[in-house]
Each structure stands twice: as C-alpha cells, then as structure tokens.
Amino acid sequence: MFPNLLLKRARLTPDRLALCYLGEEWTFQQIYDESTTFAERLHSAGILPGMRIAVLASSNSQLVIALYGCMQLGCEIVMLNERLSDEELKYQLYDSKPDALLVDNLEKRNLSYIQKFSYADIHDKIRKPFSIEAEWSKDRTITIMYTSGTTGRPKGVRQSLENHVMNATSSALHLGVHPNDCWLCTVPLFHISGFSILMRSLFYGMTVSLHTKFDAEIVADEIVGGIATRMSLVAVMLERILTVLENRNQLVPSSFQSMLVGGGPVPLSYLERAIGRNIPILQTYGMTETSSQTTTLSSEDAIRKLGSAGKPLFFADVKIEGKEKLGEICIKGPHVTTGYIGAAESKSPLIDGWLHTGDIGYMDEEGYLFVVDRRSDLIISGGENIYPAEVEQALIKHPAVIEAGVTGRQDDKWGQIPIAFIVIKEQITIDELKTFLKTQIASYKLPKEYYFIDALPRNGANKLVRRELLKFI
C-alpha cells in the first residue's frame, strides 16, 4: 500500500505552491480541497469508486483538478489525445469501455454514443461525500494511455500507482529534488511526459507551471526570469527556445537545473548551442509502457556520449537481446506496465519479466544506452510517434487505393516527416487523398508528400520493405 498521494501531500506541505496557470496559483491544500469537491460532484453524477472514466480535454488548471478528483474517487482514467480524429477516438472509447466520458466542452466532438459529462455538468451537481481512502493499493490502475504497436493497432497501457511512484522515485534519485523546484509543463497532460510531471509534483511537493500550448517566447521568459527550474520537451522545441534566447542574447540562470529531451537523440549543434546558453541538457529514453523515463543521460556526458540516452535509472534494468552487439532493447523494473486492456488484454507485455520494446539499440562498454531505431519503422516527427502501418491502413480505406507504403524522411525542423507511396486502381488526386485522410487520422500523422508508384518493394516473403521506399523519389 502507498499513502493517498493528494492527502499526504496536503498534510505535509499545505501552503507550498502546487500549480500556476495563467497568472493564478494554487497551494497543495487548495488543490486537495478543489479536487475533493470535484470528486464529490462526480460521485453525485453517479460515478462510483473503481469506475473507468475517459477524459478528453485541453491541458489547463481545470484538467488538473479533474484528474486529481478522479484519483480521489478511485477511478481509472483513460487519457485521450485531443489531436486524434473522431474515428481514432471512437476506436479507443469502444476498446476501453469507460463508464463515462469527461470533456471540457460538450460541443467539442460528436461523441453521442457514450455517456458524456462536461466540466459545467459536474460543477452543477450537489456534492455527495464519500469515504476518502488514506491508503491506495500499489497495484491500482491510475491511468490508461494508448500507444500504437508496430502493426499500428493502438493498445491501452495500464499504468499502476506503483509504476508512477517508482518512476518518480528513480527520476528524483537521478535529478535530485530541490525545495524551490518548478517544472515548466508545456507538453500535453494526456501524454505520459505531461502526466508524469503531475505525479512528480505530488510526490516531491513540487510546483508545476502549466501551459496549454508550447510558446518558445513564454518559455524563455519563465526560464530566464528564474521561475522554472526544470522542463521536459523534444528536440524541435529545444531548437525554438534556443533561437529565441540567441535572438535576445540571453543566458539561462544557474537556478535552472535541467532540461529533459526525449523523442530521439539531440543533434550535436543543438547541444553546442545549449551549452552556449547555459542550458543543462539531459537526453532521456522512455515510453508509455514505462510511465516515462527509463534511462537518462547526465548533462556532463552530453557531448562525450553524443547520441546516447544515458544509463538506466536506479530501479530500472536494461538489456540488449540478440546475438550481436546490436539488438532489441528490453526493460525490467517496477515502473514497467503489467498489462494492457481491451483488444490487447490477452497479450502480456512481459516475457520472463522483461518488456521487449521492439526498439533496436546497443549499450557501450560503460553501460550507456544508444537507441538506433525506434521500432525500426517508427517515424518520430516533432516528438510524436507515427506508425507507418496505421497511416497505410488509413490510405487503403480509400476505394481508389490498392496498396500504400509509408516511411520517414529526415527533416531539419521536425526530425522526420512521413512520406506516402501509393499504388492506385483508379485516378485520384493528392488533394482528394489529403481530404480523405483528414477524416481518418490525426493531423500530425498526415504524410507531407505523396508519390504514385506501380508497385511497392517487397522481400521474398512478400513483406513490404519500407526502407526501400525512398528510392522511388
């Protein structure tokens, strides 16, 4: 058993600043009081402890209160990505089978097939008290987040209280915890990178400066002004911050402790520019199944171990499985999920206690991890994972398309961009395909270029060889 994180934190540091958003501030006691009130109103709406609640909302202070409220009530929270299309949301809702859907605005999406509540609906309810648990089971599912596998089929990943707590513990042992820490959060809360910041806040007693969207100018203001001490982001965001600081000729103060960069290796030029602005960069590797970080590179090793994602955190183990030095990255530890839900529920994520990530990498003689490929065909564009098979399946839904192959091409701004190669049976324009795809998949997954070809490259087993696709350009 673990303590009720909200209750424990409010008792330990009731007057410490917990959250800042658009000029407003909340202490941990205020966060506890408001989230408990929200939980009692959820209870009045018929939501009972142990129920599963899907949440579709923008990152703001109301979402924080709602998420903590769901945790107080003992609900499993299905975190839905705002950027998904209606079709993608429909799949995840049918797969997760939540008891209700909580949205910030009833007019946001046409999701009439499920019981739906807005923030306003809940705020109108009369409070219905319930027994608040002083302890939570470590095996309790806190969140469920969807991640696509290499086949493109999204899987609902269970993240338990133990997963979140042990990840936060490992992170603290690596980064350290300081009394005046403030984590600048511009990544969405529906991603593990965002939600893990909320969990660290409760665990460490740390302030979160929350922003709905990333704005390099505002980020630079908070860092240079000494408000923020830590931040999580991807390389494309780092480059934009660097550009702002360089244009202003500003340096980052020594109060800023660390900038965690995930979503792939950071280019050497970015690291050199960051050093020039006094930004301590920590490259990191993790995934939804590990509730955020598994390995993190120390800033002092950023140049010496260029391209490395660092060493495993204290409670994590990493091994490379394969006959050669290069092989599949496998992870073990209390931060690793124990299972999926829905269609993937029968599929165990662990083999002999190890999570086989599908990522290819190696560890050098000093124990530093290098990630060579992310699930081999995975495209990482601006920190977002794009699975080619998922885009291909969407393309093939169009009656004019026979076959489709999607691969990534290097891009200076986004890291990679998706490129589509299509075999058609009747004439169709690229604009028509684009219009169709917008109804099927999220905008960030849309191919940036389209090529019509006679046949897709395949191997002797008749499997698509995506690495050969770029030869058709």
Residue 262 lies in a domain: yes
pLDDT value for 463 = 58
Find where tokens 């662990």 sit: 350
356 shares a domain with 390: no
251 shares a domain with 199: yes
pLDDT value for 356 = 93
d(CA 340, CA 330): 18
CA-based angle 292:298:299, to the nearest 5?
115
Find where tokens 């390389």 sit: 235
Contacts of 248 (CB under 8 A, 6+ apart): 220
Written as six digits, the tokens of 345 are 């529920």
d(CA 142, CA 155): 16
Residue 299 lies in a domain: yes
Nearest CA among 354, 350, 355 for reference residue 287: 355
* Amino acid occupying residue 463: K
387 shares a domain with 296: no
CATH number at residue 262: 3.40.50.12780
**Residue finishing a domain among 332, 354, 373:** 373
Q: Is the dihedral of CA 227, 230, 236, 242 positive or negative?
A: positive
pTM to 2 decimal places: 0.84
pLDDT value for 374 = 58
Residue 153 lies in a domain: no
pLDDT value for 459 = 58
Question: Residue 33: how many CA atoms within 13 Å on its side-chain side?
Answer: 7
Written as six digits, the tokens of 410 are 């290097």
**Residue finishing a domain among 373, 403, 431:** 373
Nearest CA among 151, 103, 138, 92 for reference residue 341: 92
pLDDT value for 152 = 57
297 shares a domain with 270: yes
CB 6 within 8 A of CB 64: no
H or E element that contains 34: helix 28-44
| 127 CB neighbour count, 10 Å cutoff | 14
**Residue finishing a domain among 316, 351, 373:** 373
Could you give the number of structural domains in the chain? Answer: 3
Q: Residue 55 to residues 38, 81, 208, 244, 291: CA-CA distances in angstroms?
A: 14, 9, 20, 34, 18
Nearest CA among 210, 203, 231 for reference residue 71: 203
Q: Provide the greatest CA pair distance for the chain.
A: 67
Q: What is the mean pLDDT of each run of 10 residues along the chain (473 residues)?
A: 96 97 97 98 95 96 98 97 87 95 85 86 94 95 81 84 97 91 95 95 97 96 96 88 95 95 77 91 92 90 85 95 84 96 92 90 92 73 82 86 89 90 90 92 93 81 74 87
Query: How far apart, in Å, do the first and last CA atoms of the chain sit?
Result: 57
pLDDT value for 412 = 86
CB burial of 373-406 (b: ≥16 within 10 Å; e: otherwise) equals ebbebbbbbbbbbbbbbbbbbbbeebeebebbbb
Q: Which residue range is the domain that position 429 belongs to?
A: 379-472
Q: Is the dihedral of CA 52, 55, 59, 64 positive or negative?
A: negative
